[in-house]
Protein backbone atom coordinates (compact mmCIF):
# COMPACT_ATOMS: atom_id res chain seq x y z
CA UNK A 1 0.00 0.00 0.00
CA UNK A 2 1.34 3.44 -0.98
CA UNK A 3 2.00 6.24 1.46
CA UNK A 4 -0.99 8.14 0.02
CA UNK A 5 -3.21 5.11 0.55
CA UNK A 6 -2.08 4.73 4.13
CA UNK A 7 -2.68 8.43 4.75
CA UNK A 8 -6.18 8.24 3.30
CA UNK A 9 -6.95 5.18 5.41
CA UNK A 10 -5.62 6.90 8.54
CA UNK A 11 -7.67 10.00 7.78
CA UNK A 12 -10.79 7.90 7.22
CA UNK A 13 -10.29 6.14 10.57
CA UNK A 14 -9.52 9.37 12.45
CA UNK A 15 -12.70 10.95 11.04
CA UNK A 16 -14.89 7.90 11.66
CA UNK A 17 -17.67 7.32 14.17
CA UNK A 18 -15.82 4.20 15.34
CA UNK A 19 -12.83 6.33 16.36
CA UNK A 20 -15.15 8.73 18.21
CA UNK A 21 -16.70 5.82 20.14
CA UNK A 22 -13.27 4.44 21.09
CA UNK A 23 -12.09 7.87 22.28
CA UNK A 24 -15.32 8.45 24.22
CA UNK A 25 -14.96 5.10 26.01
CA UNK A 26 -11.30 5.84 26.76
CA UNK A 27 -12.18 9.26 28.22
CA UNK A 28 -14.89 7.66 30.37
CA UNK A 29 -12.50 4.93 31.56
CA UNK A 30 -9.93 7.52 32.64
CA UNK A 31 -12.51 9.85 34.22
CA UNK A 32 -14.43 7.26 36.26
CA UNK A 33 -11.69 6.68 38.88
CA UNK A 34 -11.56 10.44 39.51
CA UNK A 35 -15.30 10.44 40.17
CA UNK A 36 -15.07 7.79 42.89
CA UNK A 37 -11.74 8.83 44.44
CA UNK A 38 -12.34 12.61 44.14
CA UNK A 39 -8.81 12.88 42.72
CA UNK A 40 -9.12 15.91 40.46
CA UNK A 41 -5.50 15.62 39.29
CA UNK A 42 -6.68 12.97 36.82
CA UNK A 43 -8.51 15.65 34.83
CA UNK A 44 -5.36 17.72 34.41
CA UNK A 45 -3.06 14.79 33.61
CA UNK A 46 -1.36 14.59 30.23
CA UNK A 47 -3.12 11.34 29.12
CA UNK A 48 -6.58 12.78 29.84
CA UNK A 49 -5.84 16.07 28.07
CA UNK A 50 -4.43 14.17 25.08
CA UNK A 51 -7.63 12.13 24.86
CA UNK A 52 -9.68 15.34 24.89
CA UNK A 53 -7.44 16.77 22.16
CA UNK A 54 -7.79 13.66 20.00
CA UNK A 55 -11.55 13.71 20.52
CA UNK A 56 -11.65 17.32 19.33
CA UNK A 57 -9.44 16.44 16.35
CA UNK A 58 -11.79 13.56 15.47
CA UNK A 59 -14.74 15.94 15.51
CA UNK A 60 -12.92 18.47 13.30
CA UNK A 61 -11.93 15.78 10.76
CA UNK A 62 -15.45 14.33 10.82
CA UNK A 63 -16.87 17.79 10.13
CA UNK A 64 -14.44 18.38 7.25
CA UNK A 65 -15.14 14.96 5.73
CA UNK A 66 -18.92 15.41 5.84
CA UNK A 67 -19.03 19.19 5.37
CA UNK A 68 -21.25 18.97 2.29
CA UNK A 69 -23.88 16.82 3.98
CA UNK A 70 -23.87 18.25 7.51
CA UNK A 71 -26.78 20.56 8.29
CA UNK A 72 -26.26 23.96 9.88
CA UNK A 73 -27.74 22.92 13.27
CA UNK A 74 -25.36 19.94 13.50
CA UNK A 75 -22.46 22.16 12.45
CA UNK A 76 -23.37 24.59 15.26
CA UNK A 77 -23.53 21.72 17.78
CA UNK A 78 -20.10 20.51 16.62
CA UNK A 79 -18.77 24.01 17.26
CA UNK A 80 -20.28 23.95 20.77
CA UNK A 81 -18.65 20.62 21.55
CA UNK A 82 -15.28 21.91 20.34
CA UNK A 83 -15.63 25.02 22.50
CA UNK A 84 -16.47 22.86 25.53
CA UNK A 85 -13.44 20.62 24.92
CA UNK A 86 -11.22 23.70 24.54
CA UNK A 87 -12.58 25.03 27.84
CA UNK A 88 -11.85 21.72 29.58
CA UNK A 89 -8.26 21.84 28.35
CA UNK A 90 -7.91 25.51 29.40
CA UNK A 91 -9.14 24.56 32.88
CA UNK A 92 -6.03 22.42 33.35
CA UNK A 93 -3.99 25.65 33.46
CA UNK A 94 -5.88 26.79 36.57
CA UNK A 95 -5.52 25.64 40.16
CA UNK A 96 -7.27 25.06 43.48
CA UNK A 97 -5.80 26.44 46.71
CA UNK A 98 -7.15 26.21 50.26
CA UNK A 99 -6.52 27.73 53.67
CA UNK A 100 -8.06 28.10 57.13
CA UNK A 101 -7.98 31.69 58.43
CA UNK A 102 -9.00 32.89 61.89
CA UNK A 103 -11.62 35.61 62.10
CA UNK A 104 -9.97 39.04 62.10
CA UNK A 105 -6.66 37.76 60.69
CA UNK A 106 -5.13 37.49 57.24
CA UNK A 107 -2.80 35.18 55.29
CA UNK A 108 -0.70 35.43 52.13
CA UNK A 109 0.33 31.81 51.58
CA UNK A 110 -2.09 29.14 50.42
CA UNK A 111 -1.88 25.39 49.80
CA UNK A 112 -2.01 24.60 46.07
CA UNK A 113 -3.22 21.07 45.55
CA UNK A 114 -1.64 20.68 42.13
CA UNK A 115 1.81 21.52 43.48
CA UNK A 116 1.16 20.03 46.95
CA UNK A 117 2.87 22.96 48.66
CA UNK A 118 2.20 26.38 50.18
CA UNK A 119 2.62 29.22 47.68
CA UNK A 120 2.28 33.00 47.56
CA UNK A 121 -0.53 33.94 45.15
CA UNK A 122 0.41 37.62 45.13
CA UNK A 123 -2.18 38.97 47.56
CA UNK A 124 -3.21 38.89 51.22
CA UNK A 125 -6.62 37.52 52.21
CA UNK A 126 -8.36 38.91 55.31
CA UNK A 127 -11.34 37.21 56.98
CA UNK A 128 -12.99 40.29 58.45
CA UNK A 129 -15.98 38.60 60.02
CA UNK A 130 -17.76 35.24 60.13
CA UNK A 131 -21.52 35.81 60.04
CA UNK A 132 -24.30 33.42 61.04
CA UNK A 133 -28.05 33.80 60.77
CA UNK A 134 -30.49 31.37 62.38
CA UNK A 135 -34.18 30.75 62.04
CA UNK A 136 -36.11 32.17 65.04
CA UNK A 137 -34.98 30.31 68.17
CA UNK A 138 -37.43 29.52 71.02
CA UNK A 139 -35.97 30.93 74.26
CA UNK A 140 -36.92 31.37 77.90
CA UNK A 141 -36.01 34.79 79.29
CA UNK A 142 -35.99 35.47 83.01
CA UNK A 143 -36.57 38.99 84.41
CA UNK A 144 -34.75 39.71 87.65
CA UNK A 145 -35.06 42.57 90.11
CA UNK A 146 -31.80 42.56 91.96
CA UNK A 147 -31.24 38.84 92.59
CA UNK A 148 -34.94 38.08 92.84
CA UNK A 149 -36.56 36.22 89.93
CA UNK A 150 -39.54 38.31 88.96
CA UNK A 151 -40.98 36.81 85.76
CA UNK A 152 -40.34 34.20 83.05
CA UNK A 153 -41.22 34.72 79.39
CA UNK A 154 -41.24 32.11 76.60
CA UNK A 155 -40.89 33.49 73.07
CA UNK A 156 -38.68 33.43 69.96
CA UNK A 157 -35.80 35.58 68.81
CA UNK A 158 -37.21 38.57 66.95
CA UNK A 159 -40.28 38.73 69.23
CA UNK A 160 -40.84 41.06 72.19
CA UNK A 161 -42.77 41.19 75.47
CA UNK A 162 -44.22 43.91 77.68
CA UNK A 163 -43.25 44.23 81.33
CA UNK A 164 -43.79 47.01 83.86
CA UNK A 165 -44.15 49.74 81.22
CA UNK A 166 -41.18 48.56 79.16
CA UNK A 167 -41.07 46.65 75.87
CA UNK A 168 -38.22 44.19 75.61
CA UNK A 169 -37.27 42.77 72.21
CA UNK A 170 -35.19 39.59 71.92
CA UNK A 171 -32.82 40.61 69.14
CA UNK A 172 -30.56 37.60 68.70
CA UNK A 173 -28.91 34.61 70.35
CA UNK A 174 -25.36 33.39 69.83
CA UNK A 175 -25.78 29.64 70.51
CA UNK A 176 -22.09 28.88 70.95
CA UNK A 177 -21.45 31.51 73.64
CA UNK A 178 -25.11 31.54 74.80
CA UNK A 179 -25.16 35.34 74.68
CA UNK A 180 -28.69 36.70 74.34
CA UNK A 181 -29.06 40.28 73.12
CA UNK A 182 -32.14 42.31 74.11
CA UNK A 183 -33.26 45.84 73.30
CA UNK A 184 -35.34 47.77 75.85
CA UNK A 185 -37.93 50.38 74.83
CA UNK A 186 -39.99 52.84 76.84
CA UNK A 187 -42.89 54.56 75.04
CA UNK A 188 -41.48 53.36 71.70
CA UNK A 189 -38.12 54.96 72.47
CA UNK A 190 -35.14 52.65 72.63
CA UNK A 191 -33.33 53.31 75.90
CA UNK A 192 -30.58 50.70 75.61
CA UNK A 193 -29.49 47.11 75.09
CA UNK A 194 -28.67 44.28 77.42
CA UNK A 195 -26.56 41.19 76.71
CA UNK A 196 -26.98 38.33 79.15
CA UNK A 197 -23.21 37.84 79.35
CA UNK A 198 -23.03 41.22 81.15
CA UNK A 199 -22.54 44.19 78.76
CA UNK A 200 -25.31 46.78 78.98
CA UNK A 201 -25.87 50.41 78.05
CA UNK A 202 -29.19 50.77 79.88
CA UNK A 203 -29.64 53.96 81.93
CA UNK A 204 -28.16 53.97 85.47
CA UNK A 205 -30.71 52.79 87.98
CA UNK A 206 -32.65 50.64 85.52
CA UNK A 207 -34.46 48.26 87.90
CA UNK A 208 -34.20 44.98 85.99
CA UNK A 209 -31.65 42.54 84.59
CA UNK A 210 -32.28 39.59 82.30
CA UNK A 211 -31.11 35.99 82.11
CA UNK A 212 -31.19 33.33 79.43
CA UNK A 213 -32.89 30.41 81.18
CA UNK A 214 -33.12 27.95 78.28
CA UNK A 215 -33.23 27.71 74.48
CA UNK A 216 -33.86 25.11 71.80
CA UNK A 217 -31.19 23.96 69.40
CA UNK A 218 -31.14 26.46 66.53
CA UNK A 219 -31.42 25.74 62.80
CA UNK A 220 -28.90 27.55 60.66
CA UNK A 221 -30.45 29.78 57.99
CA UNK A 222 -27.40 31.43 56.46
CA UNK A 223 -23.63 31.40 56.93
CA UNK A 224 -21.28 33.82 55.18
CA UNK A 225 -17.83 35.35 55.49
CA UNK A 226 -16.74 38.96 54.87
CA UNK A 227 -13.45 39.06 52.96
CA UNK A 228 -10.89 41.71 51.98
CA UNK A 229 -8.15 41.40 49.34
CA UNK A 230 -4.99 43.42 50.03
CA UNK A 231 -1.86 43.99 47.98
CA UNK A 232 1.12 45.91 49.37
CA UNK A 233 -0.99 47.04 52.35
CA UNK A 234 -3.62 48.47 49.98
CA UNK A 235 -7.17 47.16 49.89
CA UNK A 236 -7.93 45.98 46.35
CA UNK A 237 -11.42 44.54 46.84
CA UNK A 238 -13.89 43.33 49.43
CA UNK A 239 -17.01 41.21 49.50
CA UNK A 240 -18.78 38.19 50.92
CA UNK A 241 -18.53 34.48 50.27
CA UNK A 242 -21.16 31.91 51.13
CA UNK A 243 -22.41 28.51 49.96
CA UNK A 244 -23.14 28.68 46.21
CA UNK A 245 -22.19 32.36 46.22
CA UNK A 246 -18.40 32.75 45.91
CA UNK A 247 -16.63 36.10 46.07
CA UNK A 248 -15.01 36.89 42.70
CA UNK A 249 -11.90 38.94 42.07
CA UNK A 250 -9.36 39.13 39.25
CA UNK A 251 -10.39 35.81 37.72
CA UNK A 252 -10.37 34.02 41.08
CA UNK A 253 -13.31 32.46 42.91
CA UNK A 254 -13.25 32.46 46.71
CA UNK A 255 -15.49 29.70 48.09
CA UNK A 256 -16.43 29.50 51.75
CA UNK A 257 -16.13 25.79 52.63
CA UNK A 258 -16.44 25.60 56.41
CA UNK A 259 -16.64 27.42 59.74
CA UNK A 260 -15.27 25.84 62.90
CA UNK A 261 -13.61 26.63 66.22
CA UNK A 262 -10.26 25.49 67.54
CA UNK A 263 -9.96 23.86 71.00
CA UNK A 264 -9.73 27.31 72.63
CA UNK A 265 -12.99 28.41 70.99
CA UNK A 266 -11.51 30.81 68.40
CA UNK A 267 -13.53 30.75 65.15
CA UNK A 268 -11.94 30.26 61.75
CA UNK A 269 -13.16 29.93 58.17
CA UNK A 270 -12.06 27.51 55.48
CA UNK A 271 -11.56 29.24 52.13
CA UNK A 272 -11.07 27.56 48.77
CA UNK A 273 -9.54 29.67 45.97
CA UNK A 274 -10.19 28.52 42.42
CA UNK A 275 -8.65 29.82 39.21
CA UNK A 276 -10.49 28.35 36.23
CA UNK A 277 -9.61 30.06 32.91
CA UNK A 278 -11.71 27.54 30.99
CA UNK A 279 -14.96 28.27 32.83
CA UNK A 280 -16.31 30.98 30.45
CA UNK A 281 -15.28 28.92 27.42
CA UNK A 282 -17.13 25.84 28.71
CA UNK A 283 -20.26 27.91 29.38
CA UNK A 284 -19.98 29.42 25.89
CA UNK A 285 -19.74 25.88 24.49
CA UNK A 286 -22.89 24.86 26.35
CA UNK A 287 -24.69 27.92 24.97
CA UNK A 288 -23.64 27.14 21.39
CA UNK A 289 -24.72 23.49 21.78
CA UNK A 290 -28.06 24.71 23.12
CA UNK A 291 -28.44 26.97 20.09
CA UNK A 292 -27.63 24.05 17.78
CA UNK A 293 -30.23 21.88 19.52
CA UNK A 294 -32.83 24.62 19.16
CA UNK A 295 -32.06 25.05 15.45
CA UNK A 296 -32.26 21.29 14.93
CA UNK A 297 -35.62 21.10 16.70
CA UNK A 298 -36.92 24.07 14.70
CA UNK A 299 -35.73 22.48 11.44
CA UNK A 300 -37.50 19.18 12.15
CA UNK A 301 -40.64 20.90 13.39
CA UNK A 302 -40.78 23.04 10.23
CA UNK A 303 -40.56 19.90 8.07
CA UNK A 304 -43.47 18.25 9.90
CA UNK A 305 -45.71 21.29 9.46
CA UNK A 306 -45.07 21.57 5.74
For residue 242, pLDDT over 70 is answered with yes
Note the pLDDT tens digit of each residue in 222-236: 899 999 999 988 899
Residue 119 and residue 227 share a domain: yes
Residue 116 and residue 237 share a domain: yes
Residue 115 and residue 59 share a domain: no
d(CA 283, CA 286): 5
Residue 233 and residue 106 share a domain: yes
Note the pLDDT tens digit of each residue in 148-206: 888 999 999 999 999 999 999 999 998 888 899 999 999 889 999 999 987 889 998 89
Residue 266 and residue 228 share a domain: yes
Residue 229 and residue 111 share a domain: yes
How many folded domains does the chain comprise?
Answer: 3
Residue 289 and residue 271 share a domain: no
Domain boundary among 183, 199, 215: 215
Residue 208 and residue 166 share a domain: yes
Note the pLDDT tens digit of each residue in 39-71: 667 777 888 888 888 888 888 888 888 877 888
For residue 277, pLDDT over 70 is answered with yes
Residue 150 and residue 120 share a domain: no
Q: What is the pLDDT of residue 98?
A: 94
Residue 227 and residue 123 share a domain: yes
Proportion of the chain above pLDDT 70, given as a percent: 94
Q: What is the pLDDT of residue 299?
A: 78
Note the pLDDT tens digit of each residue in 95-136: 999 999 999 999 999 999 888 899 999 999 999 999 988 899
For residue 306, pLDDT over 80 is answered with no
Domain boundary among 215, 235, 251: 215
CATH of the domain at 227: 2.60.98.40
Note the pLDDT tens digit of each residue in 209-219: 999 999 999 89
Residue 32 and residue 173 share a domain: no
Q: What is the pLDDT of residue 181?
A: 94
Beta strands in the chain (DSSP E): 95-102, 106-112, 117-134, 138-145, 148-156, 160-163, 166-174, 179-186, 189-195, 209-215, 220-231, 234-242, 247-249, 252-261, 267-275
4 pLDDT band, cuts 50/70/90, is low
For residue 2, pLDDT over 80 is answered with no
Residue 84 and residue 158 share a domain: no
For residues 225 and 131, the answer to whether their CB atoms sit within 8 Å is yes
Question: What's the domain range around 284?
Answer: 3-94+279-305
Amino acid sequence: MSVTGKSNKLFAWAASTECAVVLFLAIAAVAIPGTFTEDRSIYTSAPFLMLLGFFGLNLILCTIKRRKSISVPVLVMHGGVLLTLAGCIATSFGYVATINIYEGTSANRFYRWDRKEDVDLGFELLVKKINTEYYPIPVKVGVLKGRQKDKLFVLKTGDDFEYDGYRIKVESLEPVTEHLKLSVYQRDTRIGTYITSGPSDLPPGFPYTFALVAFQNPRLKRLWVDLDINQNSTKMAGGTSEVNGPFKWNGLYFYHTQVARDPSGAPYAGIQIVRDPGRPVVFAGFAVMGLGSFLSFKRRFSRKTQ
